[in-house]
Amino acid sequence: MTAVLKLGVAGLSRALAAREISSVELTQGLLAGIDAHSDLGAFLCTDADHALAEARAADAAIAAGSAGPLTGVPIAHKDIFVTDHARSGLPSTAGSKMLAGYASPFDATVVARLGAGEAGPAGRGPGAGMVTLGKLNCDEFAMGSSNENSAFGPVLNPWDRQRVPGGSSGGSAAAVAARLVPAATGTDTGGSIRQPASFTGITGIKPTYGVCSRYGMIAFASSLDQAGPMARSAEDCAMLLSAMSGFDARDATSAERPPQDYAALMRKARAGASAAKPLQGLRVGLPKEFFPAALAADVNGAVRAALAELEKLGATLVDVSLPRTELSIPVYYIIAPAEASSNLGRFDGVKFGHRAAQYADLMEMYKKSRAEGFGPEVKRRIMIGTYVLSHGYYDAYYLQAQKLRRMIADDFQACFSAGAQGCDLIAGPVAPTVAWKLGEQGDDPLQAYLADIFTLPASLAGLPGMSVPAGLGAHGMPVGLQLIGNYFDEGTLLHTAHALQQATDFHLRTPQGY
């Protein structure tokens, strides 16, 4: 049974269908592992009674022959997604004291579509039947690159417990990497799926903005936030994304597209390709800006080795340029805080959230509640955002940042639409270094911001991107290969990642002790 517990989503789906294990046994085993490794800090809460009730229902569906491919497979959710407290018993906190103990009256669309109940108006009828084990730790309101900003303590990287797992979806990444759960949901605003996936040696994909509904996702930066799956392999992510995605009328930014079978798109052979050369005809662009002299040698070596594997599989590597890559950092750190300042204005201690115990009047209640409820990084971004939106600075900062954002998106389109000189996807490193040590950047937040330089451009453009394990770098820490595709071309990303994972074992490596 121990070996089965370590399987990914696709493997567990097959094991459940073959009755090699029951969902109840699987759920019990994983809950025991979560308890045994609670000091990792990945899980904020679990509800065994609720999870086992869902598992029993899943076993009944499998016995009746009415199960889908994800029925009975356990999952955990980043605590940026709200969960119906009356149904699940799980609070929704966004990693913040401001929402400590908050009991949501409904499920986020992503949670409903993956879960065991009815997805209802969220889309396509009943959910996929996955078993929810609990909620995962994250940087407060998804603001951070290390998962050290949670009000409930940091998450440790299972590869080296002295290092960060990345953020803001660090709890999700650490839980999957440590084999505590086969898959988890994450959110990516500026790289918060891809960077922690890279730092912990798992696979994660941020789909095109609008593919997954943001309804029920506690907002950080509304024009950037996007949900996505984090799992062991591209095959696992494709199965999850098929269930998560699709139009939702309750989300004004949801793309009006029919549901996609990403697992089928992942396996779709390229025209002219063979079994030995599944990537024949694929043109992979390498932006010179993604390989600067300052890129760590170990990261460069691992990424170059993974690119060489893509060549062996038939892909052609071509040089391209994204000239405004460096501008993505100031652009993002103007737009994202500005939107955060607006979104977090609702947390004032009046209707829900933390309220100060003592105050003299309404204004003091606002001030003290927000001062006590928000952590340092959230306060920093609210202050920056309020400043750039203020009278006299809006045109100078925010408006200029939006203009540059459009130009960054145009740079990508120049690469994708350049005909014979262009490319089908773009590849490079996820981060300039491997995971850093806990507390190493605590006194210099700018260094953490700079670590997002390779993930921010795709986020600003709204493009799909993913991190695929590419081997190990310094100190035995994982390195991820970043793949970026054109709008709604997740199939090419998943197909490329799957081909690489069929030819290598990078994604199968497990941290010692897990």
Note the pLDDT tens digit of each residue in 153-169: 999 999 999 999 999 99
Mean pLDDT value across residues 116-125: 58
Least confident of 111-125, 204-218, 263-277: 111-125
Q: With cut-offs at 50, 70 and 90, classify the pLDDT of residue 422.
A: confident
- % of residues, the chain, pLDDT over 90: 89
Range of the domain at 196: 2-266
What residues have CB less than 8 Å from 247, skipping those under 6 apart? 123, 213, 254, 255, 256, 257, 258
Mean pLDDT value across residues 122-134: 82
The confidence score (pLDDT) of residue 189 equals: 98
Residue 314: inside a domain, yes or no?
Answer: no
Q: With cut-offs at 50, 70 and 90, classify the pLDDT of residue 125.
A: low
Residue 505: inside a domain, yes or no?
Answer: no
Which residue out of 104, 146, 150, 168 is catalytically annotated?
168
Q: Which 3 state secondary structure label does DSSP give 139?
A: coil
Checking if the pLDDT of 124 tops 60, the result is no
Chain segment 324-365, per-residue pLDDT in tens: 999 999 999 999 999 999 999 999 999 889 999 999 999 999
Which CATH number is 246's domain given?
A: 3.90.1300.10
Which residue out of 88, 192, 198, 233 is catalytically annotated?
192
The confidence score (pLDDT) of residue 437 equals: 96
The confidence score (pLDDT) of residue 119 equals: 59
Residue 163: inside a domain, yes or no?
Answer: yes
Chain segment 173-207, per-residue pLDDT in tens: 999 999 999 999 999 999 999 999 999 999 999 99
Active site residue 168: yes
Q: With cut-offs at 50, 70 and 90, classify the pLDDT of residue 121.
A: low
Task: Compute the mean pLDDT over every residue in the chain, rounded to the nearest whole number.
Answer: 95
Letter string b/e over residues 244-271, b meaning 16 or more CB atoms within 10 A of that residue's CB: bbbbbeebeebbeeeebebbebbeeebe
Q: With cut-offs at 50, 70 and 90, classify the pLDDT of residue 446.
A: confident
Q: For the chain, give me the number of helices (H) and strands (E)?
A: 18, 11
Residue 285: inside a domain, yes or no?
Answer: no
Checking if the pLDDT of 76 tops 90, the result is yes
- % of residues, the chain, pLDDT over 70: 98
Q: What does residue 465 show for φ and ψ, rounded to 5 degrees?
A: -150, 155
Which residue out of 78, 135, 206, 368 is catalytically annotated?
78
Q: With cut-offs at 50, 70 and 90, classify the pLDDT of residue 118.
A: low
Residue 78: inside a domain, yes or no?
Answer: yes
Closest to 309 in 3D by CA, of 502, 85, 64? 502
DSSP state of 69: T
The confidence score (pLDDT) of residue 392 equals: 86
Active site residue 88: no
Q: With cut-offs at 50, 70 and 90, classify the pLDDT of residue 428.
A: very high
Number of domains in the chain: 1
Residue 12: inside a domain, yes or no?
Answer: yes
Residue 404: inside a domain, yes or no?
Answer: no
The confidence score (pLDDT) of residue 102 equals: 94
Residue 484: inside a domain, yes or no?
Answer: no
CA distance 9 to 86: 27
What residues have CB less than 8 Å from 280, skipping those under 6 apart? 270, 272, 273, 274, 314, 315
Checking if the pLDDT of 120 tops 60, the result is no
Mean pLDDT value across residues 115-132: 74
